[in-house]
Amino acid sequence: MKYRAKFTLLFTVFIDLLGFGIVIPILPLYAKNISDNPSPWMVGINEWFSFSNPGAFWAGLAMVSYTLMQFIATPILGRWSDKIGRRPLLYISLMGSALGYLVLGLTMRYEWVIAARILDGLTGGNIAVAQAAMADISTPEDRSKSLGMMGAAFGMGFVLGPALAGILSGSSWGNWLLGMHGIHLPFIVASVMSLTASVSVLFFLPETLSEENRKKTNSTKRGHALLQVLKRPQMPTLIAISLLTVTGFGMFEGSFSLMANERFGFGQREVGYLFGVVGLLIAIYQGAMVRIVSALISEQKLLVLGLTFLIIAFICLPVAPLYWPFYLCIIPAAWGSGMNNTSTFALASKLTPPEDQGSLFGALGAVQSLGRILGPAIGTLAFAQYGYRMPFHIAVGFIVLALAAALFLLSDSLNDSNKSQHP
């Protein structure tokens, strides 16, 4: 049962992230094109704020609406998964994504674009619930490896999804099969991907949370998931590390393509290849290397190492004079991100009882959603005002703060270990 559940979870995450990877690269352009035929209320907002590029504003709103709703909903979905089980919540989340993508593929009105993104965000707890399910069926010793495998499935979806989006967008299949322009076809395919993942959950995934642990959750005190998580020892530090790191990495994600274009003249194709390489490197680390590395050093030390890699990458990227050192700087950025994500989730999971795993991953998902709102917003604003180097300088500051917190966590852990050995 355990192996079938793990395989189903990995398959579900890969298929779902493949659909997500299809949508993300083309959604801003899609939303911008639709907003070129604005409704009267949109015209009023454009005139009121005198936007120099109104399409960029509406494209950004389509992106932020999803992340904001996910920030609100993910802790709630995670906590509910602790009460009624992982399987029903995962199924509902995937069906919400399928419906949201379908609406995107069928609409030509901006209002429906926003409605679709809000729906997808409100039901967007699939990754948090899947992580909790994986933690349910993993021993504390194997948790880093199991979550690393899930990270590899996550990364491969991001590697293949953008490439598939480019193929589908330029395809005539949509007109031949569905009577629609090629720009709509990726969203329809993404909807089918999420629907496929939901079917796999419905028919092949057994419930991973035992009835006993559900009863424990129902008998414990209620409250907001994040507040409950923060009450546990060392969790405020881990939450702060996660928020600082995701915000810093979000500045990299928001500014990287702009910097590559300004410095080296990279277009969408070259930037797409680079992001594919980043995803592939993360997948390689989380799928294969994490097993070796986690057996050699503790999660606390791995967290410190990952943050150090990110600092090195963010210092080097904006000053690399040639192509090849620029490419080399991508390696510590990708592996640093992989190390940080795996070790943070593994440490947090070990500090949390089985009946609260859903609340934990929901809270972490919400914190990371907040970081993905703040990071790109700060990074692109700094880029516009001060040039391509400033977002990376600010990102280094955020990661240095995260590293200081991680070193505090490591010293605290070493002190506890010494006390247990020498009572």
- The confidence score (pLDDT) of residue 308 equals 95
Residue 333 exposure: Cα atoms within 13 Å on the Cβ side:
29
User: What span, in angstroms and rounded, lies between the C-alpha atoms of 254 and 47?
Assistant: 27
Shared domain check, 186 and 273: no
CATH number at residue 87: 1.20.1250.20
Q: What is the DSSP letter of 285?
A: I
- Check pLDDT > 90 for residue 311: yes
Residues 320-331: what's their mean pLDDT? 82
| 166 and 78 within one domain | yes
How many structural domains compose the chain? 2
Check whether residue 397 and residue 277 sit in a common domain.
Answer: yes
Q: What is the mean pLDDT of the chain?
A: 79
Q: Which region among 4-18, 349-363, 379-393 has the lowest average model confidence (pLDDT)?
A: 349-363
CA-to-CA distance for 263 and 334, rounded, in angstroms?
Answer: 21
* Amino acid (one-letter) located at 357: Q
Q: Taking 80 as the threshold, does the pLDDT of residue 13 lie above it?
A: yes
| Domain membership of residue 92 as a residue range | 1-36+54-206
pTM of the model: 0.69
Domain end, chosen from 162, 180, 206, is at 206
Model confidence band, residue 19 (pLDDT cutoffs 50, 70, 90): confident
- Please indicate, yes or no, whether residues 232 and 198 belong to a single structural domain of this protein: no
Using the predicted structure, report yes or no on whether residue 261 has a pLDDT greater than 80: no
Whether residue 45 lies inside any domain: the answer is: no
CA dihedral 365, 29, 20, 335 (to 10 degrees): -70
**Do 138 and 198 reside in the same domain of the chain?**
yes
Whether residue 154 sits in one domain with residue 232: no
Q: Do residues 235 and 151 share a domain? A: no
E strand or H helix at 321, and its extent? none
Distances (CA, A) of 13 to 5, 19, 68, 385: 12, 10, 21, 38
In terms of domains, do 79 and 174 share one? yes
Cα–Cα distance for residue pair 55/35, rounded to 1 Å: 6
80-128 pLDDT, tens digit each: 888 888 899 999 999 999 999 999 988 888 999 999 999 998 887 777 7
Residue 154: its H or E element? helix 143-169
